[in-house]
Amino acid sequence: MTTELETLQAGTILSTTESVCPECLARIPATRVARGEDVFLRKSCPEHGDIETIVWRGRPAFRTWVRPKNPVHPTKPLKQVDRGCPFDCGLCPDHRQQSCCVLLEVTMRCDLRCAFCFASAGAAGSDPDTAVLAERMRRLFETTGPVNLQLSGGEPCVRDDLPQIASLAREIGFTFVQVNSNGLRLAREADYAQRLRDAGVATVFLQFDGTRDDIHRQMRGRALLAQKIAAIENCAAAGLGVVLVPVVVPGINADNLGEILDFALRRQPVVRGVHFQPVSYFGRYPAPPTDADRITLPEIMAGIEDQSGGRVRVENFRPAGAENALCSFNGTFVSMPDGRLFPLTRPRATTSCCSSTEPVAPKAGSCCAEAETVAPLEASRCSETAPVDGSARARDFVARSWAAPEVREPVAPLPGPSFGEWDVFLARARTHALTISGMAFQDAWTLDLDRLRDCHIHITDPDGATIPFCAYNLTGTDGSGPYRPERPVGK
Amino acid sequence: MTTPEEPRVRCTQCDRKLETASVTIGYMESSFQVDLLRCPKCGQVFIPEDLALGKMAEVEKQLEDK
């Protein structure tokens, strides 16, 4: 007979999905299991046994974190379904979201050697020729149209021709080009930011793990705060937007969220957003993780509220309208001259309109089958309106929010009668709106194929395929994976 | 701060001339102090076109989210 304790320990099965075994990367069934407010991904490999991994801790409650949307399949799938998800990425016709942001890795070299690196980048390696990259960008543009393009690596700024690559991207037709960087060269060479700006780069997606050098030493191997500040100052002078990107690791910088936000707010308007990334275990990492080594999205949201003294509230975060709800949160906040923060995101509905426990994919016939709405203010609720291209909307939002504002100082009130503080708010909204977001990448332990099918952050590989970020970077415990050419399965 | 021009606007319910008053506008979760015309009897506020179609619309555009 099952005891009450055993029942509690077993938890409640919420829904089913598929995942992979972290040991052999075989696709296996998985269940989402709730114990109290925590949710785990539970799976069993016939060869390697049972695996259970935390994917959601605490509030906002897992069941409320929904944003139903209709699938938008790739218009030009480059791969056919053969082995099944996640082994036919390219994209395949079963993928449920189009590309929003696509990464182009211009080098595998890097001038840091971080304890955590999804790309396992290092000092050595050769770079693809500029002409090769140009051809890859042209093929990408033919397939996806003007997605947001992120020049990534390795550290892309180690290439002397990076401005030329950015310029080519703009000529091909990409309207929003950002550079994913550790900031070292941007700090070292005062005119480098201006060269990127002149080449058409809009934003630097800046590795920024915290406001203390002990954090940088633990995660990146050395003190970097002074370089980060110099890089931001140089970007400000050049008119480049900056998004701070902290990878959040329990025991290293999870207590620094509030200070990171204060740091960002002090550097508006050049800093456009903070994009938190809970640590994932793929590529290079110190050791295979236990649940204690993980932090989940609700913990980061709650941590931001606690550490900001309530100036930023969990209620003002919401799931995004393009990718799977469980992959991210976002909110936008306008800072006033006296330091007050006004949210531009409405409080989220705290209960789902659907009684289903399935928070991911809309089911035909349910009230959410016709879900995603045109009116963004009501987008978390069901409606009868037509589906919209959430990926295109997210792409436009990112481009608008993360680029440097056209005016860098608070502008004069709009024409017409003065409305006091309202005018101040309007002026600040144009220059001092900060996006605060988080994205939970999936690794071999947490991979949920329902989430992966909804992914809209992709990497274009050397063969021209467009592959979801978490699939491309997937690695098993032996470091091999299905996609990265430098670490193929089969060793 | 300048106050809105005082047009000859009367309350259609009370037939009283509107007067400038400090009004708290609640928007999203935030409150803003704005001087607007208000009926001294029933308290109804007149939202001028500049505010409704210009400045409020400006904020609505900011609200388009991901």
Domain ranges of chain A: 10-64, 101-348+368-472
| A175 token code pair | 């309207």
pLDDT at B24: 84
- Strands A433-439, A49-56: pairing kind: unpaired
Mean pLDDT for the stretch of residues A11-17:
96
Chain A residues inside the 8 Å CB shell of B66: 320-322, 330, 390, 393-394, 397-398
CATH superfamily label, A101-348+368-472? Aldolase class I (3.20.20.70)
- CB A177, CB A164: distance < 8 Å: no
The CATH classification number of B1-66 equals 3.10.20
Q: Indicate the pTM of the whole model.
A: 0.88
Contact B28/A344, CB-based, under 8 Å?
yes
Mean pLDDT for the stretch of residues A249-266:
98
Q: What percent of chain A has pLDDT over 70?
A: 87
pLDDT at A96: 94
User: Does the pLDDT of residue A328 top 50, yes or no?
Assistant: yes
Mean pLDDT for the stretch of residues A207-233:
98
pLDDT at A104: 98
Strand partners, B22: B35
Q: What is the DSSP letter of B19?
A: E
3-state SS assignment for residue A241: strand
Distances (CA, A) of A53 to A33, A344, A446, A478, B13: 10, 34, 6, 19, 64
Residue A16 CB-density burial (10 A; 0-12 exposed, 13-18 middle, 19+ buried): exposed
Quickly list DSSP for A360-417.
Answer: SS--TTSTTTT---S-GGGTTS--SSPP--HHHHHHHHHHHHHSPPSS-SPPPPPSSS
Residue B24 forms contact with A (CB below 8 Å)? no
Mean pLDDT for the stretch of residues A159-170:
98
Residues of chain B with pLDDT under 70: 1-7, 29, 59, 62-66
pLDDT at B47: 85
Residue B6 forms contact with A (CB below 8 Å)? no
Q: What percent of chain A has pLDDT over 90?
A: 74
Residue B15 forms contact with A (CB below 8 Å)? no
- Residue A391's pLDDT band, with cuts at 50, 70 and 90, is confident
- Strands A27-35, A177-181: pairing kind: unpaired
User: Does the pLDDT of residue A94 top 80, yes or no?
Assistant: yes
Chain B residues inside the 8 Å CB shell of A397: 64-66
pLDDT at A9: 75
Distances (CA, A) of A87 to A80, A220, A318, A365, A472: 10, 32, 31, 30, 10
Amino acid identity of residue A80, one-letter, is: Q
Question: How many angstroms separate the most distant Cα atoms in chain A?
Answer: 76
* Top-confidence residue, A245 or B33: A245
| Mean pLDDT score of chain A | 88
Residue A212 forms contact with B (CB below 8 Å)? no
Q: Which ranges of A96-146 would DSSP assign to H, the alpha helix?
A: 130-144
Residue A345 forms contact with B (CB below 8 Å)? yes
ipTM of the complex: 0.73
Listed in sequence order, the residues at least 6 apart from A486 whose beta carbon sits closer than 8 Å to its beta carbon are A108, A120
Residue spans of the domains in chain B: they are 1-66
Distances (CA, A) of A108 to A195, A280, A466: 22, 19, 18
Dist. CA A438–CA A98, nearest whole Å: 20
pLDDT at A347: 67
